[in-house]
Amino acid sequence: MTGTDVLDLWDASAREHPDAPALVTAHRVLSYRDADRLTDAWAASLAARGARPGELVGLAFGDPARTVLGMLAALKAGAGFTVLDERLPPAARAELVHRTAAAVWLGDGGHAPEGAYAPAAPDGGEGADGTEGPGAARPAARAAASDAAYVLFTSGSTGRPKGTVVERDALRRFAGAVAGRLGLTPRDRWLQVASLGFDVLIEEVFPAFAAGAAVVCREDSRALDAEELHIALSRTRTTVVELSTQYWLEYARWLEHTGTTTPAALRTVVVGGERMDPRPYRAWQARQPAGLAHVYGLTECTVSSTFYTGLLPDDAEEVPLGTPLRDVEISIRRDGRRVPDGETGEIHIGGPLLARGFLDDEAATARRFVPDPEASRPGARLYVTGDLGRIDADGQLVFRGRADDQIKIRGHRLEPARVERALCAVAGVDQAVVFPDPEAGTALWAFTVPADPAAAPLPGGAERLTGADRDALVAPLEAELPDWAVPRVLYRVSALPKNPHGKVDKRRLATWATAGTGAGAPPVPCAPRPGPGDPLGGVLDLFREVLDAPGLGPDDDFFDHGGQSLLAMRLLARLRESHPAAAGLRASALFASPTPRLLAKALTDRENART
């Protein structure tokens, strides 16, 4: 894999494998030749509208295939690209559109900004703007290695979203390094499942293209539950897929529960985003044919920096993060100086895969991208990750926690203080603390202290907020934060308890919450169950099981009791096992029928419609 620009990798694949599939969709397979001609035409259209080196092209498609083609077309026009995440609240989307100042926007989704247009469709027809299909020549503009390849934004959960600027040379090196580490070939197919706008999208696309492999795209950007994922992997003969840690755990749980193994064609599942428990990792390796690749990385360092693909020893207490990719330098440091192998320190990442920095934010760039005091080459930089780690006896990087209070929720970095400040800005809230649920770590719990002491429960107790009280706190957060950063389980307490070190005692808060009404209180009793023959009974049982809420009633809302997308996937998977009418039901059905009673009625209506 040679060349000086990321497009050289694409051009080599198109030249050497013109008839091989490059993009697989539900309706068509685009060969490298066809995709090359189509994106040449898109690039010409973009260039005519002002896309060129130094500029950005904005992408706002709901269709993953068009997003992938748009990324390639922008690079062909010499520009970089940015992808607008449709899940962001409208105000946050508007701010990102303003900050990127993209020369032109492609898109046809409901979240596309004004002025966006949709070029010729992948089927070769006429575009929505009247442009013709493939045929136009690629623009002659040649970008420099230091020009921006893309800008992707952090969630904004640590404050104002930061736009990470990754240069073309970094993307080229990264694509080739991942393709080499995973041994990708033109026979591989990589299923695209990451949310558009999330940096994993980059890893799903460019290493595959560098190897002449195919990218398999879903029809839309909705999340697939475990069963749907398995069906998609099987039908598309996918060989590689990347899943967040929690998503992988849901898939592994479904496989175990149904007695199923991974599809025959699937050879590698890339997993990363959060700390990995060794037990499910070992269980997978003992039973599933597909291998695992455990990865670690950050948006600021061009997605993944380390890979672990070995068999986990029986006595391992952590799943290693692995060894660095080619062109990645990993070091463990304290106060900027390396520590001996085996000792714990802060993980620093160096090398040419580092991002240029943050868009229009020199102060933040200077804080996180620092000069390397030990480097022999001038200008060498390090990215200060904030993660703690060590290098073990086998040379593997091992994660040891965070140097600050930052946490990971469903693969996203989150500064709890950001959410706590938002909660305290709501009228009537004096103090707040936020942390992941102790059991699964997939949802946020929030504990608030009311400004009016008369509204507080008795000391030592935690009052679960529901209905209007809960909505008054959640609604302002939903307008400001991504869905995964909004606490779904909220409690009111009289005071935030402290541990001997003066910090909030989160363990005691969790104990209060589990007790229900306060320390030492009896467990919440199970609510009455519907009688035999009532379909509501089975649905209610599954709600209680998935939410771990034995007291849940028939009219209690799934999302008011800690439900979120991953738990919705689990609930629908369990429903399909006992309710034929649940076949084909998407997890999004819970938004329309969020209580056991409503969902049971929806299933009954579906069953009646089939008979």
pLDDT for the residue 443 = 74
pLDDT for the residue 448 = 93
Sign for the pseudo-dihedral over CA of 540, 541, 542, 548: positive
Task: Quickly count helices (H) and strands (E) in the chain.
Answer: 17, 27
pLDDT for the residue 525 = 47
353: tokens are: 């895969």
More confident residue, 120 or 15: 15
| Region 87-110 average pLDDT | 89
C-alpha span between 510 and 491 (Å, rounded): 10
**pLDDT per residue over 230-241, tens digit each?**
999 999 999 999
pLDDT for the residue 454 = 85
3-state secondary structure of 248: helix
C-alpha span between 339 and 31 (Å, rounded): 50
CA 24 to chain centre: 22
pLDDT for the residue 130 = 39
Whether residue 271 has pLDDT greater than 90 = yes
Tell me whether strands 268-272 and 240-244 are parallel, antiparallel or unpaired: parallel
Q: Note the helical H segments in 386-482.
A: 416-424, 467-478
pLDDT for the residue 359 = 95
pLDDT for the residue 11 = 97
- Burial class of residue 533 in the structure, from the number of CB atoms within 10 Å of its CB (0-12 exposed, 13-18 middle, 19+ buried): exposed
**What confidence category does residue 328 fall into, taking pLDDT thresholds of 50, 70 and 90?**
very high
pLDDT for the residue 243 = 95
3-state secondary structure of 105: strand
Identify the weakest region by mean pLDDT among 58-67, 191-200, 201-210, 449-458. Answer: 449-458
**pLDDT per residue over 395-454, tens digit each?**
999 998 777 667 777 667 777 877 888 898 898 898 888 988 877 666 788 999 998 888
Instruction: Tell me the Ramachandran region of residue 554: left when phi exceeds 0, alpha when psi lies from -120 to 50, beta otherwise.
Output: alpha
**What confidence category does residue 40 fall into, taking pLDDT thresholds of 50, 70 and 90?**
very high
**What confidence category does residue 125 fall into, taking pLDDT thresholds of 50, 70 and 90?**
very low
3-state secondary structure of 440: coil
| Region 243-258 average pLDDT | 90
pTM of the model as a whole:
0.79
Give residue 503's identity as a one-letter amino acid code. Answer: K
More confident residue, 549 or 50: 50
Strand partners, 164: 152, 358
Which of 82, 80, 73, 81 lies closest to 136, judged by CA? 73
Identify the weakest region by mean pLDDT among 92-101, 210-219, 352-361. Answer: 92-101
C-alpha span between 594 and 22 (Å, rounded): 40
pLDDT for the residue 127 = 47
Whether residue 456 has pLDDT greater than 60 = yes
| Region 79-104 average pLDDT | 90
